[in-house]
Structure 1
Amino acid sequence: MADADVIVFNVATFLAALFLLEFGADKFIDHTAVVARRTGLPETVVGLLTAGGEWEELVVVVASLARGRSSLAMGNVIGAAISNILGAFSLGLLSFETGRAAQFDRSARIYSLVLLVLTTFVIPILYFPTHAIWEVCGPVLIATFGIYLLLVGLAIGRGVLTAPEDSDSDSESDSDAETEATETDPLINRRVPKVRAASPGHHPEATPQPVPSRRRRRHTLGYHGLYLLFGFIAICLAGYILSQAAANITDQFGISDVLFGVVILAIATTLPEKFIAVMSGYRGHPGILVANCVGSNIFLLSLCVGIIMVDTTGSLDGGNVTMPELVALWGSTLGLTLTVWFGARFCQWIGVAMLVGYVVFIVLEVTVIHRVAN
């Protein structure tokens, strides 16, 4: 019988770890971007490292694998990929102005096709978890992620694709604006002289004015490096706590790791993506909506799945994801691709259908696929 005190404690720990995870990811991404810019890394590389990347999911995956809960890691990855489309992307479509068709550009179409190809490649491999297949395909998927970063970086640099916006930090733009203002204001003040007001017998002339002192000084590289380290430690600690609390909750209720990862953990760790999707749709930025969703899923299905395959080589501790879950993943990815290519005029109706489909999927997960109700 489940111990109520243990359940309450672990649920509270799980929720607290979520806040720590988001705080750590926010600090890590913000200060990684600043350090990268200060050290001369190209802006495209910075964008790919900090945007469209599910770094929180990666930490949870590694922490779960370290504890021997590989099924929890796999369920979290597949559940997050489904939630990014049926949960986040659908909310973004619903947030578009009523009667307004979404204008998906060439970048969005290319991103969606890349994701569809990757998903079609990964699903059969996941369904047949043999030692030989996973031992070969795991490193291939990790290498695919590296090639993806390289090719997309080159494409963005040449103007073929639009870089995804950051989906994990809401304060980066503000901090960047302050940093850019601090660095560029002296240049502006030196190049644009002030004009003194004209007085009788005196012709107006350009006279340099002293540069006003800034209230906030530019922080040193060491300061940002220290915060980067703190953020990294925070997400590692939060990932360990989340995996530990999730394992304890599943043990108490007697539910499978796959179910908890697909439903609860996946929804919780993709909350930032849902928020950004709503804001992207509300502000009329369909390209950002697609890039964030697709970029996150490519990260999950290549790097995260590849790491799980390398670590387990087909031997998951508590069972693998089922065919209905894989069908939901592929069907939602196909729906996203068709929406981007052909469904812009019906984006809100498609958003409703996806959201309803997600609710139905969760209900079936609990009552039929994993039979918790019984």
Structure 2
Amino acid sequence: MFLLGMAGGLALLILGAEILVRGGSALARRFNISELVVGLTIVAFGTSGPEMIVSVVSAVQGSTSLAVSNVLGSNLFNLLVILGISSMLSPLGVDKNTVWKGIPFLLLTCAAVFLLAEPAAGCPDTIGALTRFDGYVLLCFFAIFLYYTFSIAKSSGELQETGKSPPEKMSGFLMSGFIAGGLVLLILGGRIFVASAVVLAKKLGMSESLVGLTVVAAGTSLPELASSLMAAYRGRIGMAVGNVVGSNIFNVFLVLGVSAAIRPAPLSPGDFLDNAAVALASLALFLFMFTGKKRSIDRWEGAVFVFAFAAYLWFKITSS
């Protein structure tokens, strides 16, 4: 029963990703904007929907450890697994705006979590907490990020797509239907998968924090995985990379910001370790821009990312 639910959710994710990428590509062509911008906004916001749902519901219900571990785990999965597998499928060229602005924003999200977390009095199992005020600060950073994103559309150095096929021409009604339908299928598929996987994981005796880092994080990241793989396959490289970068920034500044604003979120030592892992992965992504083919994630670099995630996951499971 659980496996059937996971399979059904995965099928909806794949279908939703195909529809969303087609609609996003058509939108980029219709309004003459970079697919990087579409990936950083519409696609990233849509594929961050599962993280938002899980984290907000967790905050409302008081399961703040699940909310935090979900965000950090999803970001690590996005960087190491999604970019890793996507670049192994097709080397990913990266726009200079992403290199010098997008990736530094990723590092800023990690620094914000470290710097904003305050000592949590009366909580012996935590070493810090994001207060409601911290949540508002993260939301302010999110507003700055949106301003930056739309400034990309006015820049002259946007990535020129060299896809395998030109973006499709669609009517406004059909294009809106593709984007909305793709987002609905992605979120629905993610919820079905997570609901089935969480019940299965708990039956296996996994802790809430470990469930958040592994099963929930991977499940809520499946929309990003499906969308990025589909975008890479179709040659929409700006959307593939922009989707991951945008989703990670959305997850911390928006999802974690809203969650902390609802209920202060204590951070355990494991959460700080996860945040450090995300920071190292973001730094590695930046360094990879200058190794091999410049401003590109090559196949071997993607393999390094996937191996690093497997090693870190093994460490977390064996040390829990």
TM-score above 0.5, yes or no: yes
Q: Pick from 103, 111, 114: which aligns with 1:120?
A: 111
Extract unaligned runs of 5+ from structure 2: 122-127
Q: Which residue of 2 aligns with 1:210?
A: none
Q: Pick from 132, 135, 143: which aligns with 2:132?
A: 135
Does structure 1 residue 93 correspond to structure 2 residue 79? no
Q: Secondary structure at the match of 1:152?
A: helix
Q: Pick from 269, 273, 288: which aligns with 1:339?
A: 288
Contact kept, 8 Å, 1:138 with 1:308, in 2: the verdict is: yes
**How well do the aligned residues superpose, as a CA RMSD in angstroms?**
4.3
Q: Secondary structure at the match of 2:170?
A: helix
Report the AA paired with residue 145 of structure 1.
F
Q: 1:1-374, aligned counterparts within 5 Å?
A: 9-17=1-9, 19=11, 48-53=40-45, 54-96=48-90, 103-110=93-100, 111-125=102-116, 133-161=130-158, 177=168, 179-180=170-171, 224=177, 228=180, 245=196, 248-278=199-229, 287-315=238-266, 321-342=270-291, 344=293, 347-368=298-319, 370=320
1:312-353 CA distances to partner (integer Å, 9 max, x unpaired)? Answer: 21357xx67433322211111111111124453683332222
Distance of 1:132 and 1:71 partners within structure 2:
11
Compare CA radii of gyration and give the structure with the larger one.
1
Q: Secondary structure at the match of 1:322?
A: helix
| TM norm structure 1 | 0.64
Displacement of 1:23: 6.1
Extract unaligned runs of 5+ from structure 1: 1-8, 165-172, 184-217
With over 3 angstroms needed to count, the CA separation of the structure-2 counterparts of 1:279 and 1:32, relative to structure 1, is closer
Identity among equivalent positions (%) equals 24
Distance of 1:103 and 1:301 partners within structure 2:
25
Displacement of 1:28: 8.4
Contact kept, 8 Å, 1:108 with 1:287, in 2: the verdict is: no
With over 3 angstroms needed to count, the CA separation of the structure-2 counterparts of 1:23 and 1:56, relative to structure 1, is farther
Distance of 2:233 and 2:21 partners within structure 1:
24
| TM norm structure 2 | 0.73
Report the AA paired with residue 358 of structure 1.
F
Displacement of 1:231: 7.5
Distance of 2:79 and 2:39 partners within structure 1:
21
Report the AA paired with residue 298 of structure 1.
I
